[in-house]
Amino acid sequence: MVQVLKDIPVSTHRWVDPSSTGPLDDAAVARPEGMERSLVLTLDVITPIVDDPRAFGAIAAANAISDVYAMGGKPELALSFVGFPTDKLPLAMLGEVLAGMQEACARAGCAIVGGHTIADGEPKAGLAVAGSVDPARVWSHRSAREGHALVLTKPLGTGIVGQAIRAGRADEDLIARATAQMTALNAAARDVGIAAGASSCTDVTGFGLLGHLRNIVEASDLAATLYATNVPLIEGALELAWAGLVPGGSKRNLAYASAVTAFDSDVDEALRLLLADAQTSGGLLLCVPAEAADAAVGKLHEAGCEGAAVVGALEKSTVGPRIRVAR
C-alpha cells in the first residue's frame, strides 16, 4: 500500500504548497488566500479494538484527531463516520459509539458538525478532521534535522494487546490500561513538542514505530539510531509477544521496516515485533533538539504522559541501512 501511495500523482491547487509536506505525512496542509493559519485535513477510520462501544468511539476519535496534533496543529471541526451492523447489534450500541466520539472531540475542543452512517457488516468508526496550524511551524516528515533526539510520548503494544483481547488472553487490568492510553489525546505532547522546538513529528499508528520512523528518515534524507531498551512498552505486552499474540499487520510492518533497518543481534524477535507493532491512537514521535530532549520528557511526565522517553537520535545519512536498532 505504501508504494501505491508514493506513486499516486500529486494533485495541485493554489492553496497547497507541494514542497511543504510529503505523500506519507500524517495530514494534508492547505492555506486559503488571506488566512493567517493553514488548514490541516485528515481522515481516519478504525474497527473495534475493545468491546466497550463508548470506549471504541472515544478511541476512534482520538486516533483520527492525533493526525492533526502530529502536524503541530489544533483540531477545530470534524465530520463523523460510523459503519454499523444494524441487523446484528442494537441501535443503543450505536448511540454509545457516537457518544464516545463526541466526548473525545469535546476534550479536544473539536466540534462534530456533521457526518455519515451506513449499514455495514462490521462496526467501523472515525472522523474527517479539519484543524489549523501556524504555517511557519508545520511539522512535516521532510523537516527533521540531523542531531535531533527522538522522543516517544506513549508506550507501544496496543496492537498486541488488541490481539490478546480477541483471543481472550487479556485480563481486565491490561484492557483498562490500554484503553486509557488509547483514549488519551496527544494535545499535551504537541504542546511540549512546540515548546521544545521540535523540527518534525509523526504519530505512531498503523506502520508501527519503525515504519513511521522510516517515513521520517527517508523524507528528510537522514539516518537514525533507536535504543530498543529505552522504548516504553505497555506492561505485559512483551510477554504476549513472546507467547505469539502478534497481529498480522505488525508482522508485515516488521518486514517493511527491515528493508532499511539493521538490528543488533541481542534485539530479540519479540522486541523487534513490538517496535513494529501496529498502534491504535499511539503517541507522538517528536524530533527535538538534543539539548532540549530531557527537559521535554520531564514536561511530558508532568502533563500525564508517564511513559514518555528519549528513544533514539537522528544522524547524517550514510551508505547502508537508514535505521540501526541497538539493544
The single-letter DSSP state of residue 88 is: T
Check if 2-136 and 140-326 are the same fold: no
pLDDT of residue 11: 80
Cα angle: 257, vertex 260, 261; to 5 degrees: 75
What are the residues whose beta carbons fall under 8 Å from the beta carbon of 236, sequence distance 6 or more?
157, 161, 174
327 residues of the chain, pLDDT tens digit each:
666 666 777 788 999 887 777 778 999 999 999 999 999 999 999 999 999 999 999 999 999 999 999 999 999 999 999 999 999 999 999 999 999 999 999 999 999 999 999 999 999 999 999 999 999 999 999 999 999 999 999 999 999 999 999 999 999 999 999 999 999 999 999 999 999 999 999 999 999 999 999 999 999 999 999 999 999 999 999 999 999 999 999 999 999 999 999 999 999 999 999 999 999 999 999 999 999 999 999 999 999 999 999 999 999 998 899 999 999
Domain spans in the chain, listed from the N-terminal domain onward? 2-136, 140-326
Q: Which CATH class is domain 2-136?
A: alpha beta
pLDDT for position 1: 62
Q: What is the pLDDT of residue 9?
A: 75
Q: Which amino acid is at 119?
A: A
> Exposed, middle or buried, 18 (CB in 10 Å: 0-12/13-18/19+)?
exposed
**Rounded to an integer, what distance in angstroms lies between the CA atom of residue 117 and that of residue 128?**
13
Give pLDDT, residue 39: 98
Which set of grid coordinates corresponds to residue 302?
Answer: 508532568
Q: Is 64 left (phi over 0), alpha (psi -120 to 50) or beta?
A: alpha
The pTM of this model reads: 0.96
Angstrom distance (rounded) from CA 144 to CA 220 = 6
Q: How far apart are CA 89 and CA 76, in angstroms?
A: 32
Nearest to 274 by CA among 211, 196, 198: 211
Give strand ranges (E) for 120-257: 124-133, 149-152, 200-203, 222-227
**Phi and psi dihedrals of 275, rounded to 5?**
-65, -20
Contact 66, 212 (CB under 8 A): no
Topology of domain 140-326, per CATH?
A: Phosphoribosyl-aminoimidazole Synthetase; Chain A, domain 2 (3.90.650)
Distance (Å, whole) CA 183 – CA 62: 6
Cβ within 8 Å of residue 202, ≥6 positions away: 25, 26, 70, 141, 212, 213, 215, 216, 284, 285
pLDDT of residue 10: 74
Position 5 scores a pLDDT of 66
Residue count (the chain): 327
CB-side neighbour CA atoms (13 Å) of 173? 4
Count of CB atoms situated within 10 Å of the CB of 106? 12
- H/E segment holding residue 282: none
